[in-house]
Structure formats: structure tokens, C-alpha cells
Amino acid sequence: KQIDVDQWVKSVCRYCGTGCGVLIGVKDGKVAAVKGDPDNEGNKGLLCAKGYYLPQVITHSERVTKPLIRKNGKLEPCTWDEAMELVTAKFKESIANNGPDSVAFYGSGQQLAEEGYVANKLFKGAIGTNNIDGNPRLCMASAVGGFTTTFGADEPMGCLEDFEHANVFFIIGSNIAEAHPVLFGRLTDKKKKDPDTKIIIADPRRHRSHEIADISLQFVPGTDMALLHAMAYVIIEEGMADEEFIAKHTSFSNGKEAITFAAYKEFLKEFTPEKAEKVTGLPAAQIQEVARLFGEKGKNTMSMWTMGINQRVAGVWANNLIHNLHLLTGKICKPGSTPFSLTGQPSACGSVRETGALSHLLPGHRVIANEKHRKEVAELWGVPADRISPQAGLHTMELFKACGDGRVKCLYVMCTNPAHSLPNVNAYQEGFEKVFLVVAEAFHPTATTKYADVVLPAAFWCEKEGVYGNTDRRTQHLAKAINPPGEAKPDLDILLDLAQRLGYGELFPFKTPEDVWNEYLKCTTGTHMELATYPALREAHGIQWPVKDHQGNKGAVRRYVAPEDPYVKEGIDFYSAKDHKAVIFARPYLGPAEVVDEEYPYYLTTGRILEHWHTLTMTGKCPTLMRAVPKQYVELNPQDAAELGIKEGDTVRLVSRRGKVEIPVRVGKPGEPRPGLLFALWFEPDPLVNAVTIDAVDAASKEPEFKICAVKIEKV
Ligand code: MGD
Ligand code: SF4
């Protein structure tokens, strides 16, 4: 139907990493509608339900419209000046008495790039602490580790257009149908247009994505490394390896030292399909079939993965093994042939990985550990060279532990809800209670604002201008469409105010997001991650970096390959990797941190559904989505349900070594999930599923293993 609006404003969806282009219909200063942007390459006009129903979220009565301060145990409205003076006094006092590392910042892959950049500069460059981390540690840190160890630089080489060219899709640890619905639409379109397209879904849990799978691999949870090594074994054994590509573009390593191709082949003998069958529970013949599909010469293969691979103690290594398959077959940097990491949050790439707003990073994909990088950034920031400490700051789980044991005394939380979303969250409750907690939020109450000493009312999504960096190196501009309600302000303005009050005003002379962007652009010059200019981004419907010399509206569709990548003269060049060679890793097998036993006989996994976003603070405000899925549940395989005498709708208690949660049951269809595996949604703040999940982390990426822990199940 025709919608009566005053104007359509070009923006990007608030939710997932796909970064669908949207047009926001504004009428009388209010959002009247949201529709897909037909000129955006990412979604070509399509949106999923979460995107369409964004207008219902914006005006909800639980928006925070005034700053709140805790007085006599209760959060009460106050003026901005009162709130900011209190925050400033507490931070100053803590820095003076206990040093800069006694304060910290915890941000989000949903913040804008300018916000991430300024927060990073304020904490690392001005205050002088590397204690700034964010929720991408919970979702993408292992993908970062995979890209940087294999290719020497973060982020994917492929692009969304590769969907159109791939003949085989290998999707592992991703429920793309529900977590990235518009991309699933592209997949189904491709299959319709070209029925010979083969789709392999590898996941212990059968979910909606399996509906279009040609082959479903439901392996024992946590055994993916055995599957991926076995596929590499078959690829080499059956002559599908591209020897020329391997010789020219790759090297081999066991993670400690360089090894030869022959040594790698020897290592893989531990992973014959027959041996992998014993570990994964998948028939050897099926592993062979999948490896053959992946490796078939002349066909293009695209791999996709998300949290099933990343949220694991073997997260970085499993990422490496996916890259191995593409490097062995040379199916990389070609249309339709690419490893393609799907990003969970809209701007985990743009606002955190690229701005360097994690405790071990610096802007432009630089790292704290590198002295040259520290010097470059200190100079760009105009701070003394020794201001940026060579020690990485606290990663997320350590940071919240430090709030409990007193190392961190003041914490600023922005655009995230950690009192709900951390794993084994009850273990961190003491930290939330003890620390001086500042929460910049669009809504109140949330699980985290309940602990806050100060709540700062934040402008939401279309109420501010800024930039997101979405899943395929696509930088996109979000225009401001309406004013924020009451006294709410953009996070950027709040951070700049804090910087000023803390006495660092000279380092932050910015008046607009564009001013911030212009300084940030300089930090990306010469990094192979150059971004486009603000005017170009305002005009375009997304621009993919690298944009050499910040020129041009098109950007690099594919990376490491000529002519698309301006840094490559001809053919393929992994220019960020040592000796220009990407590394094929012989990583030792590593299973989950916790395995099932007699006492805790079921595996529990957790994840998203189509209708809701993370901790429900946003989609929970949307009546249409709440009607669709009003309650979280745990899904049981019908065979397990029958054995336990549990029916659909019963309430059960899930108990782990860390905590328990009572939750209604949904009995799945056969295979949903694999017998012995339970799948729980985790969006409700009470009861909290994260009381049960495990906070064991990957040794390298420090990403927690949300996807696997051992539980017992009791009927209530
Ligand atoms: P969100 O609900 O996305 O969850 O967890 P969180 O980031 O904690 O929280 C975002 C918050 O930002 C909301 O409260 C919202 O109201 C607020 N907000 C929205 N817009 C703005 C704004 O413009 N400014 C400010 N200041 N605030 C705003 C996500 C985290 O959860 C992630 S990233 C992952 S990958 C993990 N996944 C996961 C899992 O798979 N299983 C389990 N069990 N737990 C998980 N936790 C992790
Ligand atoms: Fe938004 Fe993701 Fe849905 Fe696109 S697929 S409309 S970005 S939630």
C-alpha cells in the first residue's frame, strides 16, 4: 500500500551483520515505516521481520529520556550536568588513586564506528589504559584470530555477490535461515535459479537452514575439527588439491613452526574418514562425499560460518581449518569461491575490529603488541609515544572478573547488556554490584541498568548519524532521520562531553560524526584498510574497503586479487601474510571444554531465532514479534523426550556445574536437535539461560564457548 511520508531517509538495518540497506519513511518528525533499499547490493530491497518492525521499537515507553543517578538505592532522574559531573569525579578519583587501569570501557558491535573510535582514543590514548573491550569478543574474536593467523590480516576477502557465482555452499555452525534471513533468501533464490547448486549444512542441530540442504551433517557437538581435517585428507588423497596454487600462495605450519606439505599430509593420516567417523559420528562415506563436492575441480565453493565455529574453545583453530580447505583447493579470491565469515552484529567489523576497540587492538587493524603500530597511532592521536601501554588490556571475561576482585573500579558500558549476555553470568554478579557502573542505554530497565550507578539516555539508531561496517567489508552511512526523545543524546556526544570534562578536550575537537571520521580516515591510510570519505559514503549504498587513497565510490569487491584489489598488480597476492603466503595449519584436534558424563549427560547449545535479537531489550518492545514467539524454550529431540517422559509444554530444569534454569520444553521433529543435544533460546532476562552456560574461553581469541556445555535435565 502507498505510505504517506514526508521523506525517505537512507540508512541501514539496526540488527544483524548482513547490513541490509533500509529507507526510513519519516512523517511529521516520526518514523512511519521502514522498507528495504532496492539499490543496496546486500539486500536488494529485501528485509526480514526484525528490520520491518523497527518502527514499533523506537517509541516504546521504556525509552530512557532523562539521565538517572542511584540515590538511596534507587535510580532517580537528574540533570545531564549532575550525571556527567558524578561520572567525571568517580573516574578522575579512581585514575588518581589507583592508576588508569582501574577504569574500563565495555562497548558493542552495535555501536557506530565514530563512537568506537572516540571511546578507543579516550581510553587508550587519553586516559592511558587498554582496558577497553566489547561484545565482539563474545562473537567474532575467533574469526579475527582465524583471519589474522592464516592471512596476516583480519576480515573476509569475499563479498555478498559471491552467492550468485557459487556452485557449492558449505555452511558450518550457522543457522543462516534465522540469524541472517535475507542472506538465506539469496541462497534459496540461487538454488531455485540453478537447481544443480549443492548446499551442505554441517551442524549438530537440525534447524530451519537444513530445509534446503542437499546434505545434512549432524555430527557430535564439538568435533568439527575432525570433520574439517578429514575433508582436507580426502581432498589431497583424491587429487583435488591445487598443487600449483599451494606452491605459489601458501606455506604450512603446525602452529609453532613451519612444516612441509609432506609433514602436513603425514599429520592428516590421523584424520582419515574412518577415524573421523569414530569422533564425529558421521559415516566415513558421507565425509568423503562432502569433501568431493567441496573439492570438485571447475566448481566454485563458498563456505560460511558463524557462532557454531567462533564460540568455541577451539574457535581460532576451527576457523583456520575452514581456510585450509579453500587454500588446498585454490577455491579462494574468485567469484563464488571464498571462505566467508558471517558477522553476528551489524558493525562488529566496522565499529570494533576496524577501529581497534578491543583490548589488544588499535585502529586500522593494528595491534597493541606491535611497537611500530603503537608509535604510529600515538602520533596520529597527538599523544606521547609511551601513552599506549604495550600490554593488552583485559579481555571481556577478565574485565568482569576484575570488577569483582577490585582491580577495575569504574566501568562505562555502552550499547550492550552484559548482565544478561555473559556466559556463566551469575559468577560475575559481584562485579556488577561492586564496580561504579555507568550504562549508556536507549532502554530502561535492562539486566545491566538494574546494577547501574548512572544511566545515560542514549539516542537510538535512526536518531543519530554515523557509520556501520557490515559483514563483507562494506562501510555504510546511516543518516539521522528523527530527533531523539526527551533529553536522550547520541553516544558520540556523551563520550565527547566526558572527554572534555576529564580534561582531554584538546584531543577531541570534533563537532560532528564527519569530523571524527576525517581523523579516523587518517588512521587507515597506508593500512590496506583505507575507508571511503564521508561525502562518498553519504551518496553510495555501501562501499567496500580497501579504497586506495580514500578515492572512488566503488571500493574493492574482492580482496587480494587483481583488478578488484588496488594493492594487487596481477593474479592473487596475500600481501598481508608473511612472504605473501597464506598459512595452512596442522592444528591438533581440540574438543569442547566440557564433555558429557554420567552426571551431566546432555550437551546444551544456545542461539538465535528469526524473531528476536539477543537480550530482547529491542525486539521485546515489538508486539508483532512478541506475538510470534512470546517465550524462550529448550528444544529436545523427540527420542530423548520420550525416554525422559517429557512432553511439549512441560517445564524442565537444566542444571550445569555452574547454575540452573527452569524453562518450557519444545519437542522438535526427528533430528531436531541431534539426540543427546538440547538447544535453548536465551533471550529472556528471567529465568537466565546464561546461568548455565560455560565461560571457558579459546586460548588465543578469549572468546567463550557459548555453544557447548554439559547439563542434566530434571522435570519440574
Ligand atoms: P543486546 O540485546 O544486543 O545484547 O549481547 P548484548 O550486546 O548484551 O544489547 C544491546 C543493548 O544496547 C540493548 O540493551 C539495547 O537497548 C542497547 N542499545 C540499542 N541501541 C543503542 C544505542 O544506540 N546506544 C546505546 N548506548 N545503547 C543502545 C550480545 C552478545 O550476547 C553477543 S554479541 C553474542 S555473539 C553472544 N551470544 C550468545 C549466545 O549465542 N548464547 C548465549 N547463551 N549467550 C550469548 N551472549 C552473547
Ligand atoms: Fe536486518 Fe539482518 Fe534482517 Fe537484514 S537480515 S533486515 S540486517 S536483521
Domains and CATH numbers, the chain: 7-58 (3.30.200.210), 68-136+347-458+490-528 (3.40.50.740), 141-342+578-585 (3.40.228.10), 602-715 (2.40.40.20)
Least distant ligand from the CA of 680: 1
Q: Identify the active-site residue in 139, 333, 349, 462.
A: 139
273-280 and 284-295 helices, crossing angle to 10°: 120
Measured in angstroms, how far is the CA atom of residue 148 from the centroid of ligand 1?
25
Q: Which ligand 1 atom is at minimum distance from the Cα of 108?
A: 7
H/E run at residue 30: strand 30-36
What sign does the dihedral 279-280-286-292 (CA atoms) show?
negative
Q: Which ligand 1 atom is at minimum distance from the Cα of 348?
A: 33
Mutating to test ligand 1, I would choose from 421, 489, 703 the residue with most ligand atoms within 8 A of its C-beta, which is 421
Ligand 1 pocket member 465 (CB < 6 A): no
For this structure, is 275 an active site residue? no
Q: How far apart are CA 324 and CA 319, in angstroms?
A: 9
H/E run at residue 260: none
Phi-psi domain of 710 (left: phi exceeds 0; alpha: psi -120 through 50; beta: other) = beta
Ligand 1 pocket member 705 (CB < 6 A): no
Measured in angstroms, how far is the CA atom of residue 133 from the centroid of ligand 1?
14
Measured in angstroms, how far is the CA atom of residue 296 from the centroid of ligand 1?
40
Measured in angstroms, how far is the CA atom of residue 136 from the centroid of ligand 1?
10
Residues in the chain: 716
User: What local confidence, expressed as pLDDT, does residue 554 receive?
Assistant: 77
Q: How far apart are CA 206 and CA 191, in angstroms?
A: 20
Ligand 1 pocket member 281 (CB < 6 A): no
Q: Which ligand 2 atom is at minimum distance from the Cα of 52?
A: 6
Q: Identify the active-site residue in 345, 476, 544, 632.
A: 345
Q: Identify the active-site residue in 222, 344, 350, 555.
A: 344
Grid coordinates standing for 555? 571500493
Q: Whose CA is nearest to atom 3 of ligand 2?
A: 48
For this structure, is 302 an active site residue? no
The mean pLDDT of the chain is: 97
Q: How far apart are CA 280 and CA 419, in angstroms?
A: 35
Mutating to test ligand 2, I would choose from 11, 14, 16, 187 the residue with most ligand atoms within 8 A of its C-beta, which is 16
Q: Which parts of the chain register pLDDT below 50?
A: none
Q: Whose CA is nearest to atom 31 of ligand 1?
A: 421
Q: Which ligand 2 atom is at minimum distance from the Cα of 183?
A: 5
Provide the 8-state DSSP code for 672: S
Measured in angstroms, how far is the CA atom of residue 400 from the centroid of ligand 1?
16
For this structure, is 50 an active site residue? yes
Q: Can you name the residues that pair with 31 across neighbouring β-strands?
A: 26
Residues 6+ apart with CB under 8 A from 30: 59, 482
Ligand 1 pocket member 689 (CB < 6 A): yes
Ligand 1 pocket member 606 (CB < 6 A): yes
Q: Identify the active-site residue in 16, 159, 307, 462.
A: 307
594 by DSSP, 3-state: which?
A: coil
Q: Identify the active-site residue in 140, 157, 414, 709.
A: 140
Mutating to test ligand 2, I would choose from 23, 35, 48, 160 the residue with most ligand atoms within 8 A of its C-beta, which is 48
Q: Which ligand 2 atom is at minimum distance from the Cα of 180?
A: 5
Give ligand 2 pocket residues (Cβ under 6 A): 13, 15-16, 18-20, 43, 47-48, 50-51, 180-182
User: What local confidence, expressed as pLDDT, does residue 445 receive?
Assistant: 98
User: What local confidence, expressed as pLDDT, does residue 671 receive?
Assistant: 83
Least distant ligand from the CA of 11: 2
- Asked whether the ipTM of the predicted complex exceeds the cut of 0.90, the reply is yes
H/E run at residue 244: helix 243-249
302 by DSSP, 3-state: which?
A: strand
Q: Which ligand 1 atom is at minimum distance from the Cα of 608?
A: 40
Q: Identify the active-site residue in 16, 19, 48, 50.
A: 50
